């Protein structure tokens, strides 16, 4: 195992009827801005619970944050934060609302002229305005990590940011909030979390047995609950496992002491920026091709994953690795998610060149756990994904 340091300061409050606990976490004298998305919280009872918890607080609201949070929309929220002297943010939503809130928490204290520079110039956020979250969509793990991804339509960019200042102070995880999630977003959540684990696991063996088994247990649990929660979002026990898997998949724990890849996400973000394809679906398109392309480098971990997660017993390391990739793609397809780019857009020709050029322009010319994925490899992987 590699050396590591691990600190995750986010307090998790998990379970039924816990949204009311906002009032024990946010200081009573705070001036709060409540941030939310396109309105799902207004129809599933979450909004009422948040407002009731905030009774007695001085607060304002900002709704309408779109999926793939858009920079120009966030600048309007930043204006309100400044004009109203807001000093505490509360995100109520999925990854997009939470990421938006992280951006705002950073931008609110940013001294530079153009807040986009935080993303463009990769400026780490050491301190930010304090914020908490109420998670309504298990998927990204944003509720317990210090990363965010923001989109800027004007320039066709989707960029990440992060830093120790961006951990939520608290996150409320009430699995009952997922009852209203439509099938498409449940599928997205399962695939996003599953791919988060794969990105931190499907590298090369490093004798980190506990990390491997943490990762495998999250994937096994997701596979087990996927058909249950897809069929019935009001199954509370399955909702609990689903929500906790998604959080554990990307809260920093399983990546400690081990190599990580993240090339699938790097390529996937470009497909979202180009075609607006849901984040998780871009991962479902690229992951099987990426693993096939890097089979030689990744075959030991792919075979171990095949054996331990999918119960494969027959074949050589290479054969098990191949079967494991096929199992993964079949899992995504059985959930109802298409895994070819041409199933999402008719104008896919030329995408490989465009993605390779976009990553190269950003200086991302050595992706993956071995830093050996060049723009020409990216081009081939995306071509295989057509």
Q: What does the binding site for ligand NZQ look like in residue numbers (CB under 6 A)?
A: 37-41, 44, 67-68, 93-97, 99, 136-137, 139-142, 145, 147-149, 177-178, 180-181, 185, 188, 192, 250, 265, 279
Q: How far is the CB of 340 from ligand NZQ (least distance, A)?
A: 20
Strand-pair category, 11-14 with 157-162: unpaired
Among positions 25, 176, 192, 383, the unique one binding Zn ion when judged by CB under 5 A: 192
Number of other CB atoms surrounding residue 169 within 10 Å: 15
Q: How far is the CB of 120 from Zn ion (least distance, A)?
A: 21
- Closest to ligand NZQ by CB, 64 vs 227, is 64
Residue 145's binding partner out of Zn ion, ligand NZQ, none, with CB under 5 to 8 Å set by partner kind: ligand NZQ
Residue 250's binding partner out of Zn ion, ligand NZQ, none, with CB under 5 to 8 Å set by partner kind: ligand NZQ
Given the structure tokens 């599928």, which residue do they identify?
Answer: 187
- Closest to ligand NZQ by CB, 32 vs 178, is 178
Packing angle between helix 279-293 and helix 317-335, nearest 10 degrees? 160
Residue nearest to ligand NZQ (CB): 37
Residue 44's binding partner out of Zn ion, ligand NZQ, none, with CB under 5 to 8 Å set by partner kind: ligand NZQ
> Which residues 6+ apart lie within 8 Å of 311 measured at CB?
none
- Closest to ligand NZQ by CB, 308 vs 362, is 362
Q: How far is the CB of 261 from Zn ion (least distance, A)?
A: 12
Residue 163's binding partner out of Zn ion, ligand NZQ, none, with CB under 5 to 8 Å set by partner kind: none
Q: How far is the CB of 68 from ligand NZQ (least distance, A)?
A: 4
177 closest CA partner among 11, 10, 18, 336: 18
CA dist., res. 254 & res. 260, Å (int): 10
Q: How far is the CB of 278 from ligand NZQ (least distance, A)?
A: 7
Residue 93's binding partner out of Zn ion, ligand NZQ, none, with CB under 5 to 8 Å set by partner kind: ligand NZQ
**DSSP-based three-state secondary structure for 369:** coil
CA dist., res. 345 & res. 329, Å (int): 19
- Closest to ligand NZQ by CB, 265 vs 379, is 265
CA dist., res. 266 & res. 364, Å (int): 9
**25 and 169 Cβ atoms separated by less than 8 Å:** yes
Please say whether the dihedral angle defined by the alpha carbons of residues 104, 109, 113 and 117, taken in this order, is positive or negative: negative
**123 and 264 Cβ atoms separated by less than 8 Å:** no
CA dist., res. 294 & res. 300, Å (int): 11
How would you label 263-273 residue by residue, b for 16+ Cβ within 10 Å and e otherwise? bbbbbbbbbbb
Q: How far is the CB of 146 from ligand NZQ (least distance, A)?
A: 8
Q: How far is the CB of 167 from ligand NZQ (least distance, A)?
A: 11
Residue 335's binding partner out of Zn ion, ligand NZQ, none, with CB under 5 to 8 Å set by partner kind: none
- Closest to ligand NZQ by CB, 67 vs 86, is 67
Beta-bridge partners for 158: 151
Residues that bind Zn ion (CB under 5 A): 192
């Amino acid at each position: 195992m590699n050396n590591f340091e691990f600190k995750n300061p986010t307090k998790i409050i998990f379970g039924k009827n816990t949204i009311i606990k906002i009032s024990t976490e946010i200081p009573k004298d705070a001036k709060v801005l409540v941030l939310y998305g396109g309105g799902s919280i207004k129809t599933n009872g979450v909004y009422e619970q948040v407002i009731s918890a905030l009774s007695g607080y001085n607060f304002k609201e900002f709704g309408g944050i779109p999926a793939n949070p858009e920079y120009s929309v966030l600048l309007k929220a930043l204006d309100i934060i400044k004009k109203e002297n807001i000093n505490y943010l509360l995100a109520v939503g999925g990854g997009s609302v939470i990421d938006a809130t992280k951006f705002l928490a950073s931008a609110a204290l940013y001294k530079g002229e153009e807040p986009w520079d935080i993303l463009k110039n990769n400026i780490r956020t050491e301190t930010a305005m304090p914020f908490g979250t109420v998670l309504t969509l298990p998927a990204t793990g944003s509720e317990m990590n210090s990363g965010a991804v923001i989109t800027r339509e004007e320039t066709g960019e989707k960029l990440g940011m992060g830093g120790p200042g961006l951990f939520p102070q608290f996150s409320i995880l009430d699995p009952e909030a997922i009852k209203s999630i439509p099938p498409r977003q449940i599928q997205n959540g399962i695939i996003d979390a599953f791919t988060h684990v794969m990105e931190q696991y499907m590298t090369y063996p490093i004798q980190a047995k506990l990390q491997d088994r943490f990762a495998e247990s999250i994937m096994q649990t997701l596979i087990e609950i996927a058909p249950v929660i897809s069929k019935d979002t009001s199954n509370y026990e399955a909702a609990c496992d689903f929500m906790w898997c998604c959080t554990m998949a990307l809260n920093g724990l399983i990546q400690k002491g081990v190599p990580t890849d993240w090339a699938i996400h790097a390529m996937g973000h470009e497909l979202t920026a180009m075609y607006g394809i849901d984040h998780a679906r871009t991962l479902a398109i690229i992951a099987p091709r990426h693993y096939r392309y890097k089979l030689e480098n990744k075959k030991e971990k792919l075979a171990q994953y095949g054996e331990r997660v999918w119960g494969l017993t027959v074949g050589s390391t290479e054969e098990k690795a191949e079967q494991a990739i096929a199992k993964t793609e079949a899992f995504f397809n059985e959930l109802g998610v298409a895994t070819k780019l041409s199933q999402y857009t008719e104008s896919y020709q030329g995408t490989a060149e465009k993605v390779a050029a976009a990553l190269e322009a950003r200086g991302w010319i050595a992706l993956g756990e071995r830093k050996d994925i060049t723009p020409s490899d990216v081009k081939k992987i995306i071509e295989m994904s057509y």
